[in-house]
Chain A
Amino acid sequence: MTTKELKKKGKAAEAGALLAAAASGADLRYVGGRPVSFVHCSVASAASLRRALRRRLPIVAIVDKDTSDETAWSLRGSWSAAPEADPLSTVDVERLNRPLIALLLEGADAGALAPAGEGPDIVIAVRGDGDGGDVDLAVADVAGAEAAIAEALVVLQSVTHGRGTVVPPAPGSLTDVVPFELDGAYDMTDVVARLVDGGRTVPIARPHAAGVSTALASIGGIPVGIMASRPERDQGRLDSAEIRRIERFVRLTGALRLPLVSLVDTAGERWSDSADLLGALRDALLAVQSPATPKCVVITGRAYGLGAALMGAVAARADYVVAWARADLAGRAYTEDDELGPLATSPFAAVEAAVIHEVLEPDATRQALIDVLGSLTTVGADEGSDGH
């Protein structure tokens, strides 16, 4: 069936797409009204894999307990690493530049997959506990997986097909949900909802690193990756798992060519296991210092220490850094009677020195991001940005 025929057929082909594809080895199906190539890695032949790649459609690769490591690895990265060993080496996958989602059925080994940036863009596990380290989203059943794929494709499709429709964010003023006082509690989810189109995101969730949230969304019709610290949890301090999550998400947005929007309200890092934390910091700093895509940073509250640097507050390279008037910038977490005296800098002092670009009213943030992203995303999808 050609793509054209499939489009004519429309949503009628959607029902049971995932399971039907799993049985047939490779197939074209609709998910959420969008054509998708399904490939079952245990069943599909090399020829059908090649056909799927050449369709230039998003691919959902199904991996089960019978899928060999070699096949799983060949989903993306290993082709460029060892092209002579792979029957699909004639296909320039990076050039085709379309999303690749891996779906792990029950019993599949997440460790067989290459890491994000080299392997699949998103890894969804059915009935997995999400603790495998490389799983982005754990769902309860196949139906849940189909819904998650449809959600992800809403964003991922727009990566290769330009801007989507602009939808207003969640209603209400940000100043109503965020108190001006630095110690005032608020839920960062409310902030995100008032910045993104429709107030809606596709969470890239990892249950064991809940101190930071990561999601795909659109702002002004421009698809973006959003990461945000969660000040309601221990003042947004980051432990090693959360730092690894940041690293993986930065790499993921790079692989998807998505601009990154970072919302920062963190008191720094949580030194529970120093060696582990140092290792995570090292890896993550390398990732955030050389992002493959544009990065915009909004400092909504505390921006302390390496945690804030990781999220792009000041030290890491960013294309656009703004702060709200309630923000507080410091090299490390501090107390009022700190022996080193006042350590913090107000956002006004920071902008006076041109260390950040702007101090913004919270409700002006969305429009500012749209304006900046509109400029930054004029670069071709296959071109990264370079540093200062």
Chain B
Amino acid sequence: MSSPAPVAETTSGGRPQSWAEAAQVLAARREFALGMGGEANIEKQREKGRLTPRERVELLFDPGSFQEQGALALGTLIVPGRPDRAAPADGIVVGWGDVVGRRVCVIADDGTIAAGARGHAANRKAAAISAFARNSRLPLVWFAESSVNRMQHVMGAQFAGDLERELGALPPLRFMSSGLRAPTVIAISGQSVGRPSFAAMVSEFVTLNRGSSAMALAGPSIVRAAIGGPVTSDELGGAEMHGKGTGLVDYVGDSEADSIDGIRRFLDYLPPYTGAAPRRLPSDDPGDRLCPELYDIVPLAYRRAYDMRKVARAVVDNGELLEIKGDFARNLVTALARIDGWTVGIVANNPLHAAGIVDPPAIQKLVRFVQLCNLYNIPIVILQDQPGVMVGPGVERQQIVKNVVWLSQTMRSVTTPVLTVLVRKCYGFSYLLLGARMNGGDTVVAWPSASISLAGPEAGVATVLAAEERAGTLTDERRAEVLAAFFEDSRARHAAYAGRLDDILEPEQTRAFLARQLALIGIRGAGIRYSPKPALRQ
């Protein structure tokens, strides 16, 4: 492959005169398109730790299934004082293929040509494939690398003309306004500023590659000019910023291949569009498998930490979880998985981090995930073990009150089935928020280890016996006696006796129970939309 030749050498001076000649011209042009930005630019791309768009597409789709559209498009790279050069495919690869056997559309910006900046034809191609995906209710994956317009195309008054129209036609920003829609995935594959960053905010799944890609409103040069000081693109919008700090990215891959694998798994869990139910895949992991390892994973002592992800892995098929926003708000786990072949969304407090407390970042993570599951008819399994909602001036500054109401309203509007398992601590208002019947729980069961109360027993003792403590009459015996009484009163079995829970479940039975429930849901059809649940159904 050679570097892109000047336009005059690549466009046909005249028309072909026969079918045979036309076939030769077509073959040559297709070969030219495959060359992308030329060997030198491809090498530069590799030095940055990035793949070419065609390598990304090859990894995304099932072998041999990709069909490109508009490969014969051609842009022109104009730099004053230099000869014009051609932009094969106008710097963008679009088309469709199969991901785990299902049709998916793709847009892949070409970082080997003008750093991924687009020309007019590229914008038309992107708009056309997006419309195609929208009209066909097909998922769309966008490998975003720069994705801005070439400067020469947007200088001057042109900015308010062609570009405005082209951008107006571009999903996924418009995509979100559609009632029926298919998933969009934004794979941040380079230094993405502006348009792809906005698109990511309204997409179902956003990936970022550790060390080689970043997402921001503006790049380092603009930031330096505006507010001064050295800053790198990684500091502005890399894995540390968006994987851990803001949680705006759903999946941070250690490499591009890792991110693309995450995209394939994500699309495999989801139905093709919002009106459909997720498919059930045959599982070699028996649905009625017992999980005795759960007795070792979860300590009975409430103050001892454990990793809730181990509980989730024990329950789901073959221990496979696709964690969403795994590095952000780690006191809450959100993940997609399968139980007996049924797709489920797992929401679980994780006592390994901050005792699994519910704080504003956890609520933001939870709400977005629940909205995703609700939109795509994915039943939600909640594993609850949390000491309550975080309190204090820090979270008040983070608008904890508003966040709690937001979470409550979200849970009450959920129409997809919610199955709640109370594992251990279920304290405070957050007990109600996380899948209790009044907030969307269709089935609520508890392990014998579960403890339900408005406040933890220790907090209850401190409040109830505060006067005695101030008066100096509180004894250790008295404190222990009241504490024991509170512990006993908060046992889940009392809630079950009163009919407030559906059952007390042996932990090892959890998977089998959930599999049976999911089979029932499958029979009635998870894809059937129910009217929003009533606010109170106690």
Interface residues of chain A, those whose CB is within 8 Å of chain B, are: 175, 180, 294, 319-320, 325-326, 346, 348-349, 351-355, 357-359, 361-362, 371, 374-376, 378-380, 383, 385-388
Contacts and interface: CB of A to CB of B under 8 A. Distances in A.
Contacts of A348: 11-12, 15, 25, 29, 72
Contact of A379 (B26, B125, B136, B169): B136
A354 B272 contact: no
A371 B67 contact: yes
Contacts of B511: none
Nearest to A179: B19
A352 B71 CA distance: 9
A303 B138 CA distance: 30
A128 B103 CA distance: 46
A35 to B, nearest CB: 28
Given A325-B26, A351-B70, A361-B23, A379 B135 contact: yes
10 A-B pairs with least C-beta separation = A325-B22, A385-B135, A354-B121, A354-B124, A352-B74, A351-B72, A175-B19, A354-B73, A388-B131, A354-B125
B178 A386 contact: yes
Contacts of A371: 67
B376 to A, nearest CB: 16
B18 interface: yes
Contacts of A388: 127-128, 131, 169
Interface string B105-132: 0000000000000001110110110011
B88 to A, nearest CB: 11
Interface of B: 11-12, 15-19, 22-23, 25-26, 29, 67, 69-74, 90, 96, 103, 120-122, 124-125, 127-128, 131-132, 134-138, 169, 178, 180, 272, 275
B77 to A, nearest CB: 14
A294 B128 contact: no
Contacts of B131: 319, 387-388
A371 B17 CA distance: 29
A325 B128 contact: no
Contacts of B138: 375, 378
Contacts of A387: 131
Contact of B69 (A175, A358, A378): A358
B132 A358 contact: no
B103 A375 contact: yes
Nearest to A382: B275
Contacts of A320: 132
A361 B71 CA distance: 14
A348 B25 CA distance: 10
Contact of A319 (B74, B121, B122, B132): B132
Contact of B72 (A352, A378, A386): A352
B201 to A, nearest CB: 23
Contact of B124 (A325, A349, A355, A376): A355
A353 B67 CA distance: 19
A29 B285 CA distance: 50
Given A348-B11, A374-B103, A386-B178, A357 B135 contact: no
A294 to B, nearest CB: 7
A357 B70 contact: yes
B26 A375 contact: no
A376 B121 contact: no
A358 B72 CA distance: 7
B90 A354 contact: yes
A325 B19 contact: yes
Contacts of B17: 180
Nearest to B126: A354
Contact of B272 (A175, A362, A378): A378
A323 B180 CA distance: 32
Given A319-B132, A325-B16, A361-B26, A383 B137 contact: yes
Given A180-B18, A361-B26, A374-B103, A352 B73 contact: yes
A355 B69 CA distance: 12
Nearest to B120: A353
A357 B71 CA distance: 8
Given A354-B90, A378-B138, A180 B22 contact: yes
A387 to B, nearest CB: 8
Given A294-B136, A325-B19, A357 B103 contact: no
Contacts of A359: 26, 72
A355 B138 CA distance: 22
A378 B25 CA distance: 34
Contacts of A354: 70, 73, 90, 120-122, 124-125, 128
Contacts of B136: 294, 319, 375-376, 378-379, 385
22 contacts: A180-B19, A180-B22, A294-B135, A294-B136, A319-B132, A319-B136, A325-B26, A348-B25, A348-B72, A351-B73, A352-B11, A352-B72, A352-B121, A354-B90, A354-B120, A359-B72, A361-B23, A375-B103, A378-B138, A380-B275, A383-B137, A388-B127
B25 A325 contact: yes
Nearest to B72: A351
Given A358-B71, A383-B137, A386-B135, 11 more contacts: A180-B17, A319-B135, A320-B132, A348-B72, A351-B73, A353-B121, A354-B120, A361-B19, A361-B22, A378-B272, A383-B275
A348 to B, nearest CB: 6
A10 to B, nearest CB: 34
Contacts of B67: 371
Contacts of A175: 19
Contacts of B69: 357-358
A234 to B, nearest CB: 24
Contacts of B178: 386
A383 to B, nearest CB: 7
Nearest to A384: B135
A356 to B, nearest CB: 9
A346 B72 CA distance: 13
Nearest to B104: A375
Contacts of B122: 354
Nearest to B67: A371
Contacts of B70: 351, 354, 357-358
Contacts of B18: 180
A97 to B, nearest CB: 16
B505 to A, nearest CB: 38
